[in-house]
Amino acid sequence: MVKHAKQPDSSSRSNSLGSLLNITARNVVNAGRLVKTGLVFRLSHELHADMPYRPTHGSFFYSITLRPQDYHEPFRPAPKNGFGASIGRMELSDHAGTHLDSLNHISKDGKYFGGIDAIQSTGPRGTSHLGVETTPPIVTRGILINVCKSRGVDMVESGPILIKDVEKELKDSNISPEPGDAVLFYTGISKLWSDPQKFMGFYEKAPGIGMELSRWIVKKKLSIAGVDTPGSEVSPPENPGFMLPVHQFLIAESGVRLIDNMNLAGIADAGLAAFMFICSPLPIKGATASPVSPLAII
């Protein structure tokens, strides 16, 4: 049984869950009923030293720090059973690769979601409220909106994802979004992950969720949103002079978490529209995000 992070009181716990409160036991059970074939799709990209990254986040580093030969002469007496082991260490941003943004990631007017003082609650080792450890494992129905299919293109390279894209895909798939569903948007950009230079070109100019679609997500009481682009929201912003307004509206004002850099090409190519969706972030105390490897199961 999943245990949520300890909270001072019920109102504080509700605040830390945000839109995940829309996921009920019924959502979980109904998601399980979608599994018919046992096929599992991983919706994350590989983490490696040469992968794309946002310069302000820093690159990924991994190194083997203990090798099988380190258990033998001349380093130490060799074990009689021929034992050896490898162990490594990594350095990475909590926003590296495919990652889930926590509710302490974005503030508005000095406040995190629920009116929590962002300045007072944020220190060098994390935040005292809304850290990613307060995000429980997410199990619900996932819905894929294939924007490429809606527009008849291989890749959407700019501009906001439109409500008409969403409605066309939902109608074609005969799906009605329900409270608690996770919604994922495929633009084709995830296919560029193996070409870091091309992919990184979409950090400053990319398609994604605009303000109209973000309001739709909140109105439908969806639990979480994910996109296969670096920042999930359309870039540059629709309103000149604004910075990440969709992140601000969804996370700081509405309690809706985002998953950036998703690998959605596999489920798009397979023609999936609805599936069991599972995503469990690392419970890093006070962290603003967690690398994740979500799953789609049919």
For residue 141, what are the CA distances in angstroms to 22, 26, 182, 189?
12, 10, 6, 23
Amino acid at 187: T
Instruction: Give residue 3's pLDDT.
Output: 40
Dist. CA 248–CA 79, nearest whole Å:
56
**CB atoms inside a 10 Å sphere around CB 85:** 9
Q: For residues 29-47, give the mean pLDDT.
A: 98
Q: Where are the domains of the chain?
A: 10-46+94-297, 61-91
Q: Looking only at Cα atoms, what is the longest distance across the chain?
A: 69
pTM beyond 0.75: the answer is yes
Quote the DSSP letter at residue 193.
Answer: T
Assigned fold of 10-46+94-297: Glucose Oxidase; domain 1 (3.50.30)
Residue 289 belongs to what H/E stretch? strand 289-291
Dist. CA 11–CA 257, nearest whole Å:
19
Quote the DSSP letter at residue 249.
Answer: I
DSSP three-state, residue 231: coil
Q: Report pLDDT digits (tens) over 134-191.
A: 999 999 999 999 999 999 999 999 999 999 999 999 999 999 999 999 999 999 999 9
